[in-house]
């Protein structure tokens, strides 16, 4: 065995060696149409022990762990340090044998390991496994298999419920395969005109007048179909495309805002900001550039940032939001009530409004507790000098409780309007103007306006 491919400490393959062997083996497996098992083992105790045990004892312990691990595997298993602490690739593995293998491994590691110093160390391993080619993307490229495995390991790490053994099932595999597709397509989606904006009106609950809207990104992909923002925004962040996407949203919404202002000069446009935008140095300057060159007063732009983003990136968020406000823009705290922010944090964030998360509004009719939560958030917002917006108002009863009993300032939700394209938004705005200020809304003006600015669009 090439010495360069071995981990000197443990005598098993190092990362390069493991991948080299795995790639060779995977290609053979493909031609012979047989199934193999990839199994990764991780344990968190070693990093803690490094501060307590001597380097010799740590090495002794790791060698022991490798011995126990390999004693449970067939002798032909390829074992190495690669994606996790110790990984193995077992060629020609029958999936039905997996529960036995895991049981055996768990049993062996249940007994504490006795160090030469007499100390007993308990290793609590976690196993993550997948059959290949099996549920992993059927691919000719072993590199792709490795990157899919890495993605699956990351997926298992993120899941809140860290199980002792995670095995890649069909459902998770489809989800990951879709993710791979999304990641590879998202960069080109903007250039290919696959993305568009939907606008959802915000309504003044006292006058029922539309005061502005929120721009929501949409993606209609030729083969993936409709990809929801809950799915692609996270991937855009992961792939580093979110900044470009946010600037595209800003640019598109500036065009729509200019048209809306013909009907209502005070109309506001809300744009969502993700954590990665806030963390990017110079991103504020890009926003500033677009706004400065838009001929639209900065106070008509509202930037929404979720409560959890603001809390997790507190220092950066304060700095970024402060700069937006100095520019003259408004700042709103989105999905409030889900991010566990303390009251002192709330009072220190530079804000103009907060949006009560729709999960509270959704349950109000069945839960007095949720009504009281919304009432408390509303009082809290007002006490901090903020406007309060209730999101997710779906029924007339929701609206009545929010407007009459609780007294929020603004509302947003399907009861008023679902997100819609710019053509429908302008028509909707014109109708709302006619209803609320008939003296200002001249039929001829509105129909001239609509025919001048708009061609009916087919989507949404
Ligand atoms: P959000 O900012 O809280 O947007 C409101 C979401 O609630 C929208 O979902 C909207 O369609 C939905 N909604 C509004 N009213 C109702 C209602 O009455 N009932 C129900 N059930 N839902 C309602 P959407 O468009 O799927 O967006 C989901 C999230 O994706 C947004 O939540 C926002 O966080 C994010 N997002 C959308 N577009 C962008 C974007 O351009 N940039 C960033 N960073 N995030 C975006
Ligand atoms: Mg929002
Ligand atoms: Mg929201």
Show the domains of the chain with their CATH numbers.
3-168 (3.30.70.270), 187-453 (3.20.20.450)
- CA 113 → CA 62, 63, 70, 119, 350, distances in Å? 10, 11, 15, 8, 54
Ligand 2: distance of its center to the CA of 315 in Å?
Answer: 21
Edge-first strand order for the sheet with 36-42 is 78-80, 86-90, 36-42, 126-132, 165-167
User: Closest ligand 1 atom to the C-alpha of 412?
Assistant: 15
* Contact residues of ligand 1, CB 6 A cut-off: 200, 216-217, 228-230, 233, 246, 249, 272-274, 304, 334-335, 358, 391-394, 412-414, 419
Task: For the full predicted model, state whether its pTM sits above 0.85.
Answer: no
Query: In the prediction, which pLDDT does 156 show?
Result: 79
Ligand lying nearest the CA atom of residue 229: 1
Give the pLDDT band (50/70/90) at residue 157: confident
Query: In the prediction, which pLDDT does 143 show?
Result: 76
Q: Looking at the predicted structure, is the pLDDT value of residue 460 above 50?
A: no
Give the pLDDT band (50/70/90) at residue 364: very high
Ligand lying nearest the CA atom of residue 389: 3
User: Closest ligand 1 atom to the C-alpha of 415?
Assistant: 18
Buried b (16+ CB within 10 A) or exposed e, 50-84: eeebeeebbebbbeebbebbeebbeeebbbbbbbb
Ligand 1: distance of its center to the CA of 405 in Å?
Answer: 26
Ligand 2: distance of its center to the CA of 333 in Å?
Answer: 8
Ligand lying nearest the CA atom of residue 355: 3
Each residue of 241-287: pLDDT tens digit?
999 999 999 999 999 999 999 999 999 999 999 999 999 989 999 99
Ion ligand 3, residues whose Cβ is below 5 A away: 334-335, 391
Take atom 17 of ligand 1 and give the residue whose Cα is closest: 392
User: Closest ligand 1 atom to the C-alpha of 228?
Assistant: 26
Q: Looking at the predicted structure, is the pLDDT value of residue 135 above 60?
A: no
Tokens of 221: 């992909």
Phi and psi at residue 149, to the nearest 5°: -65, -45
Query: In the prediction, which pLDDT does 459 show?
Result: 43
Mutate to test the pocket of ligand 1, among 203, 214, 216 (most ligand atoms within 8 A of CB): 216
Query: Residues with Cβ < 8 Å from 263, sequence gap 6 or more?
Result: 426, 429, 430, 433, 446, 449
Take atom 43 of ligand 1 and give the residue whose Cα is closest: 272
Indicate the range of 60-74, 128-142, 172-186 predicted with least confidence: 128-142
Each residue of 382-402: pLDDT tens digit?
999 999 999 999 999 999 999
User: Closest ligand 1 atom to the C-alpha of 245?
Assistant: 41
Tokens of 323: 């700069």
Buried b (16+ CB within 10 A) or exposed e, 344-377: ebbeebebbbbbbbbebbbebeeeeebbebbbeb
- Give 351's strand partners: none
3-class SS at 195?
strand
User: Closest ligand 1 atom to the C-alpha of 216?
Assistant: 38
Q: Looking at the predicted structure, is the pLDDT value of residue 218 above 60?
A: yes
Take atom 19 of ligand 1 and give the residue whose Cα is closest: 392
Query: In the prediction, which pLDDT does 28 show?
Result: 86
Indicate the range of 20-29, 119-128, 335-344 predicted with least confidence: 335-344
Take atom 27 of ligand 1 and give the residue whose Cα is closest: 229
Mutate to test the pocket of ligand 1, among 272, 275, 287 (most ligand atoms within 8 A of CB): 272
Q: Looking at the predicted structure, is the pLDDT value of residue 134 above 70?
A: no
Distance CA(248)–CA(215), nearest Å, equals 11
Mutate to test the pocket of ligand 1, among 215, 228, 233, 250 (most ligand atoms within 8 A of CB): 233
Give the pLDDT band (50/70/90) at residue 76: very high
Please say whether the beta carbons of 393 and 411 come within 8 A: yes
Ligand 2: distance of its center to the CA of 232 in Å?
Answer: 15
Q: DSSP 3-state helix, strand, coil percentages of the chain (rounded to 5)?
A: 50, 20, 30
Indicate the range of 22-31, 41-50, 124-133 predicted with least confidence: 41-50
Ligand lying nearest the CA atom of residue 228: 1
- Give 132's strand partners: 36
Ligand 2: distance of its center to the CA of 302 in Å?
Answer: 10
Take atom 8 of ligand 1 and give the residue whose Cα is closest: 216
Take atom 7 of ligand 1 and give the residue whose Cα is closest: 392
Mean pLDDT over the full length of the chain: 88
Distance CA(391)–CA(387), nearest Å, equals 13
Take atom 22 of ligand 1 and give the residue whose Cα is closest: 392
Ligand 1: distance of its center to the CA of 246 in Å?
Answer: 14
Take atom 42 of ligand 1 and give the residue whose Cα is closest: 272
Give the pLDDT band (50/70/90) at residue 458: very low
Query: In the prediction, which pLDDT does 161 show?
Result: 62
Ligand 2: distance of its center to the CA of 356 in Å?
Answer: 11
């Amino acid at each position: 065995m090439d010495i360069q491919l071995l981990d000197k400490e443990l005598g098993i393959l190092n990362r390069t060696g493991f991948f080299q062997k795995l790639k060779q083996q995977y290609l053979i497996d493909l031609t012979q149409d047989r199934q193999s098992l990839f199994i990764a083992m991780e344990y968190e105790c070693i990093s803690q022990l490094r501060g307590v045990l001597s380097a010799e004892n740590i090495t002794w312990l790791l060698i022991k762990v490798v011995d126990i691990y390999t004693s449970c595997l067939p002798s032909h298993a390829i074992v190495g340090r690669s994606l996790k602490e110790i990984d193995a690739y077992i060629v020609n593995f029958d999936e039905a044998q997996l529960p036995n293998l895991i049981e055996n491994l768990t049993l062996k590691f249940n007994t504490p390991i006795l160090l030469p110093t007499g100390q007993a160390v308990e290793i609590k391993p976690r196993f993550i496994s997948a059959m290949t080619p099996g549920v992993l993307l059927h691919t000719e490229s072993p590199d792709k298999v490795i990157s899919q495995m890495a993605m699956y390991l990351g997926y298992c790490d993120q899941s809140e419920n860290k199980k002792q053994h995670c095995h890649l099932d069909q459902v998770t595999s489809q989800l990951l395969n879709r993710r791979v597709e999304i990641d590879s397509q998202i960069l080109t989606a903007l250039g290919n005109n696959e993305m568009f904006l939907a606008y959802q009106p915000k309504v003044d609950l006292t006058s029922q007048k539309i005061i502005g809207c929120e721009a929501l990104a949409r993606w209609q992909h030729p083969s993936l179909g409709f990809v929801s923002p809950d799915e692609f925004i996270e991937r855009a962040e992961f792939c580093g495309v979110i900044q470009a996407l946010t600037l595209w949203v800003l640019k598109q919404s500036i065009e729509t805002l200019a048209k809306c202002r013909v009907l209502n000069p005070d109309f506001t446009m809300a744009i969502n900001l993700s954590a990665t935008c806030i963390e990017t140095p110079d991103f504020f300057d890009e926003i500033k550039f677009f706004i400065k060159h838009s001929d639209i007063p900065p106070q008509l732009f509202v930037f929404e940032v979720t409560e959890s983003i603001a809390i997790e990136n507190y220092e950066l968020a304060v700095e970024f939001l402060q700069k937006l406000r100095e520019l003259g823009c408004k700042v709103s705290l989105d999905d409030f009530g889900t991010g566990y922010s303390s009251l002192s944090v709330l009072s220190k964030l530079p804000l103009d409004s907060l949006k009560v998360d729709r999960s509270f509004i959704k349950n109000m009719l069945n839960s007095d507790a949720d009504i009281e939560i919304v009432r408390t958030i509303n009082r809290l917002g007002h006490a901090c000098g903020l406007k309060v917006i209730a999101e997710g108002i779906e029924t007339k009863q929701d609206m009545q409780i929010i407007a009459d009993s609780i007294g929020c300032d603004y509302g947003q939700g399907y009861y008023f309007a679902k997100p819609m394209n710019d053509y429908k938004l302008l028509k909707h705005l014109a109708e709302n103007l006619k209803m609320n200020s008939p003296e200002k809304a001249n039929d001829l003006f509105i129909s001239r306006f609509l025919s001048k600015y708009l061609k009916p669009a087919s989507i949404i």
